[in-house]
Chain A
Amino acid sequence: DSGVTQTPKHLITATGQRVTLRCSPRSGDLSVYWYQQSLDQGLQFLIQYYNGEERAKGNILERFSAQQFPDLHSELNLSSLELGDSALYFCASSGTFGGEQYFGPGTRLTVT
């Protein structure tokens, strides 16, 4: 158990819909990262937040957004969903920049 929690575990929704994925980092970690894992693209970094502020952006689509709240939990919002957005979405947390990242169990999103 990494100490990072993600909800929900599974999500099935239709094209065009909007969903929110939630992540709680390990106790004391200020950085939260979001990743997408798909068969086509592999593991891709989406976005990073540090203590409530966006710090780095990766291959995140404009239809996707994230935020980190004062209690340090983070949410990833995916809108206007397409079939190709079906993937595993992981959250990771870290105590330091460049340090090891601890991954949550992931949310499996299926868009039908």
Chain B
Amino acid sequence: AQSVTQLGSHVSVSEGALVLLRCNYSSSVPPYLFWYVQYPNQGLQLLLKYTTGATLVKGINGFEAEFKKSETSFHLTKPSAHMSDAAEYFCAVTGGGADGLTFGKGTHLIIQP
């Protein structure tokens, strides 16, 4: 069984500042981890994924995440926030088999001008 905890339902940063969205997971098997972004009234768009191999994963729109097994974390970062980054962000985990994604509750990212 898997679970995901996203710390902070709302995160506010200034434009140009560092974005850090936190995700901790629990998994009984080696996890496959994902970050998705959801803009208002739209579906979910894949930002990046970790399956195996390199623990620092780069995604689209300048985002990256680091898989830390010892901390069971997969935090999402972006060096410099842009107004267009304002959205809902979801961390998700799966065990890699025939199973659906288990999502966190989401973090609403607010960008202050």
Q: What residues make up the interface of A, taking CB atoms closer than 8 Å to B?
A: 2, 4, 33, 35, 42-48, 50, 55-56, 58, 90, 92, 97-106
Contacts and interface: CB of A to CB of B under 8 A. Distances in A.
A57 to B, nearest CB: 9
Contact of A42 (B46, B51, B97, B105): B105
Contacts of A4: 43
User: Majority SS of interface residues in chain B?
Assistant: loop
A58 B96 contact: no
Interface in B33-54: 34, 36, 42-46, 49, 51
A101 B34 CA distance: 9
A101 B98 contact: no
A102 B46 contact: yes
B63 interface: no
A42 B103 contact: yes
Given A42-B104, A42-B106, A103-B36, 4 more contacts: A4-B43, A42-B105, A97-B98, A97-B99
